[in-house]
Amino acid sequence: MPIPASQPLPSSADSTSPALDGTVTDRLVEANERYADAFTDPGMDARPVLQVAVVACMDARLDLHAALGLELGDCHTIRNAGGVVTDDIIRSLTISQRALGTRSVVLIHHTGCGLLSLTEDFRHELAAEVGQRPTWAVEAFKDLDEDVRQSMQRVRTSPFLLHTDDVRGFVFDVTTGLLREIDPQG
């Protein structure tokens, strides 16, 4: 069921507050202080060791490093709502390739994605609510496989990207943890 632009998603914090003595951000800052106490500079370069950029949905259920067997420094991870290839994703991939040496692109959508239930009506409702039209598209979709194909095509045809021969797309199943590769031709 679509969620109107003015209605926030329910949160687990509604029933029990995760940060009793402050905000969630306060809790994150405190966790960072504990992390920094034990932190040792790994001496890594900003260039990904595996020369790969992974574009995926921002969904909190996707632990990409664990799911793909990646370690710190292995890849660039670029996330947005839906994992769709937008102009900003092309911007990030262009910088990733041209300035930081990546050569491969992995695109990951997932089952149960919130963009499957949204439409451009979300954007119109938001404009009516705030009095200003968003400059961005929702990029909602009804078919995961077709949207992965469209994202692969956007990467492969971008004039800004140097390396478009190793672009592969997948759907991650949030109930099994398995990737299913999408044939770019359908």
Rounded to whole angstroms, what are the CA distances from 86 to 48, 53, 89, 140, 147? 22, 15, 5, 12, 12
Given this model, what pLDDT does residue 145 score? 97
* Angle (nearest 5°) at CA 65 between 55 and 11: 80
- What average pLDDT score do residues 29-37 get? 96
CB-based contacts of 121: which residues, under 8 Å, 6+ apart? Answer: 2
> What is the chain's mean pLDDT, rounded?
91
Record the pTM.
Answer: 0.86
Instruction: Determine how β-strand 75-80 pairs with β-strand 104-110.
Output: unpaired
* pLDDT for 16 beyond 70: no
Distance CA 109, CA 169 (A): 8
Q: Are 49 and 25 in contact (CB under 8 A)?
A: no
Rounded to whole angstroms, what are the CA distances from 10 to 13, 14, 36, 61, 175? 8, 7, 32, 16, 21
Given this model, what pLDDT does residue 33 score? 96
Q: How confident is the model at residue 186 (pLDDT cuts 50, 70, 90)?
A: confident
Given this model, what pLDDT does residue 19 score? 47
pLDDT tens digit sequence for 35-63: 999 999 989 999 999 999 999 999 999 99
Rounded to whole angstroms, what are the CA distances from 141 to 39, 70, 118, 129? 41, 29, 8, 23
Q: Are 48 and 100 in contact (CB under 8 A)?
A: yes
Nearest to 62, CA basis, from 107, 13, 120: 107
